[in-house]
A and B are shown apart, each in its own frame.
Chain A
Amino acid sequence: KAGVTQTPRYLIKTRGQQVTLSCSPISGHRSVSWYQQTPGQGLQFLFEYFSETQRNKGNFPGRFSGRQFSNSRSEMNVSTLELGDSALYLCASSLEGQPFYGYTFGSGTRLTVV
């Protein structure tokens, strides 16, 4: 079956702009989590959606938001981009909201803010 699909793969944006990233989970997976990865901070949890509801949220400012649709596809949005938002954004899906038993990750979206 198809893996986790993230689009786009690469993005270059200017400070102050906003960006929307998309993630399609593995078919049947209802939980989608988002992570930010930077060399300095490592993997930082952004939020998790399960059945269209945000179930968990990491420690990020309100500029970072997300949503999940009825088909489990998820989007995350970052408004008023800052240089420090440059990172690899990873989406991960899991069965029935059980990352306990492992995630399947997408290839990520590389965001560069200039």
Chain B
Amino acid sequence: SQQGEEDPQALSIQEGENATMNCSYKTSINNLQWYRQNSGRGLVHLILIRSNEREKHSGRLRVTLDTSKKSSSLLITASRAADTASYFCATANMDSNYQLIWGAGTKLIIKP
């Protein structure tokens, strides 16, 4: 079942601009993870943020988590053409028997 909902569904920006994607979820979580998928390929784990963390950075990625609003955002700064991909959030909680609950994804297009 899909718990996370990414917003927007699609995003097109110019190279060099920042891209922000949002994820909302419904139940309490242990952690939230972001993945990237290049066209027709497997997903790549980008970053994990635990429920007791509010912000996390990894290179050009910044993830925030607001458990009171049950939402997270992924910011990609200084976007590059290679960032063109679909981005998925996935939540993990103790009730889901070790399974991740996935959102539908945001398709990001970086225009040169």
Which residues of A pack against B, CB within 8 Å? 4, 6, 33, 42-43, 45, 48, 55-56, 88, 90, 92, 97-108, 110
| A-B contact list, 24 entries, CB within 8 Å | A4-B42, A33-B99, A42-B104, A43-B88, A55-B97, A56-B97, A56-B98, A90-B42, A92-B42, A92-B43, A97-B98, A99-B99, A100-B31, A100-B92, A100-B100, A101-B31, A102-B33, A102-B45, A103-B35, A103-B45, A106-B42, A107-B42, A108-B41, A110-B40
* A105 in contact with B104 (CB, 8 Å): no
With A100-B92, A102-B33 in contact, is A55–B98 under 8 Å at CB? yes
CB distance from B92 to the nearest CB of A (A): 4
With A42-B102, A43-B88, A55-B98 in contact, is A100–B30 under 8 Å at CB? yes
Residues of chain A contacted by B88 (CB below 8 angstroms): 43
The answer to whether B78 has its CB under 8 Å from any CB of chain A is no
Complex Cα gap A4–B44 (Å): 11
> How many residues on chain B are close to A (CB under 8 Å)?
22
CB distance from B85 to the nearest CB of A (A): 13
Complex Cα gap A81–B62 (Å): 43
Complex Cα gap A103–B48 (Å): 11
> B43 — nearest CB in chain A belongs to which residue?
A105
Interface centre among B43, B44, B92, B105 (most CB of A within 10 A): B43
Residues of chain B contacted by A106 (CB below 8 angstroms): 42
- CB < 8 Å: which of A43, A55, A105 contacts B44? A105
With A42-B105, A56-B98 in contact, is A103–B2 under 8 Å at CB? no
Complex Cα gap A92–B35 (Å): 12
Interface of B, secondary structure class, is strand
Which residues of B pack against A, CB within 8 Å? 2, 30-31, 33, 35, 40-45, 48, 88, 92, 97-100, 102-105
Residues of chain B contacted by A6 (CB below 8 angstroms): 42
Residues of chain B contacted by A42 (CB below 8 angstroms): 2, 102-105
Complex Cα gap A48–B35 (Å): 19
Complex Cα gap A101–B92 (Å): 9
CB distance from A53 to the nearest CB of B (A): 13
